[in-house]
Amino acid sequence: MCCGRMPTTRWPSLPAGFKLENGMVIVPAIEVAVVDKKADAKKITELEVKEEKAVNRCIFGTKRKFPSRQVLEDRRSRHMLMNFMRRGSVQQFSEAWNGYRKPPSEQKYSEDVGHIHQGLNFEPTREELNSLAKACSRLWELDMNRIVPGKDYRIDCGEGKKVYQKGDMASESLFSWLGDDVLRKPTYSHFCALLDNYNPHQDKHEEIAFVEEIARTSPIKYLHRYLVQKGVVPQDYEDFKRMLASLWFDLYGRGGNSSCSTAFEHVFVGEIKGRGQGESEVSGFHNWIQFYLEEAKGNVDYQGYIFPRRRGESPDLEIQLLTVQFEWHGVLKSVSNTLIGVSPEFEVALYTL
């Protein structure tokens, strides 16, 4: 969904020599499609699928594909944008970044980050650079801001169902309760500020504040060192933060519309879009915090979990990867993979990786 009016100028602007035509970023001697699902889908190799299964098996002990296919498509779109940004000069983003960035006196950041992360090594090993599964496992270990099932929250999975089955199989909400202090955590708080009536045209200050906060955490620091070793981001951490903000919050065209959505909006906030014949569908919406908040507002109707492919496996109170079905504003999301309890910085790092 897109709301608000278009700004008079884009942030950040395209580098000199680049232009936008019909949803395509035209680069001198190079043509990069911002979104081309059909062409992009062909790039799913057997190796990618094996690596995704390995990630899930390594972290969660199950062979289900992780994350969802839609999330994989969005990750590839963001990688395309990252490759485009590498061809331009990061310096051209500095002026726009500093214009939206609030002065230190107006920002509130956590005070204990330095103490928590003291002595940690964020350099990826050779094995992690060669294996996405090992890199994701390292990210999981570095997510010290993740909340604990039974201590910080409780879920009620209800009854399971097949994807094609109709009807509500859950008599209760997915979240039974959430600890009072959870959403007061610094990165959680900045994340929630973005979710509240998210408008990609107007929320630049909140976007920068969120990036500044998560950039102080272990998962993002590891992400930076990992991508530096891969040669896709600059060594300078300030330049990297600007690039991360552009990657997640730049507007791009989707479904024939020009500059109406962001990667953040799709993956974390969710979108409702038409699919013809007067029908609508929920796109994205893979974040547990957004699910909790929308469920608390009465906008989400949890309808049960999707049966795992392997028999004998059922979710319990401590599961942290859950495939669910729900309605959002009366529109059905038949399948959605959600990581329960992980921190915002972990998900940003994971999907950027």
CA distance 269 to 263: 9
* 190 part of the active site: no
CA distance 251 to 274: 19
**Which of 134, 221, 273, 333 is labelled catalytic?**
333
CA distance 337 to 341: 13
**Which of 151, 286, 297, 329 is labelled catalytic?**
286
Residue 295: CA count within 13 A, CB half-sphere:
20
Contact between residue 260 and residue 290 where contact means Cβ atoms under 8 Å apart: no
Task: List helix spans (H) across the chain.
Answer: 37-41, 46-60, 69-87, 94-100, 113-117, 126-130, 132-142, 186-195, 204-214, 218-230, 237-249, 263-264, 288-297, 344-352
| Cα Dmax for the chain | 58
Contact between residue 335 and residue 316 where contact means Cβ atoms under 8 Å apart: no
* 266 part of the active site: yes
CA distance 332 to 321: 20
Strand 300-306 versus strand 160-161 pairing type:
parallel
Shortest CA distance to 214 belongs to which of 126, 333, 344? Answer: 344
- Show Cβ contacts of residue 305 under 8 Å, excluding neighbours closer than 6 positions: 157, 158, 160, 161, 315, 322, 323, 324, 325
Q: What is the CA radius of gyration of the chain?
A: 20
**Which of 161, 185, 204, 266 is labelled catalytic?**
266
- Show Cβ contacts of residue 221 under 8 Å, excluding neighbours closer than 6 positions: 117, 122, 215
Assigned token pair, 309:
């492919």
Contact between residue 202 and residue 100 where contact means Cβ atoms under 8 Å apart: no
* 115 part of the active site: no
Catalytic positions, written as ranges: 266, 286, 333
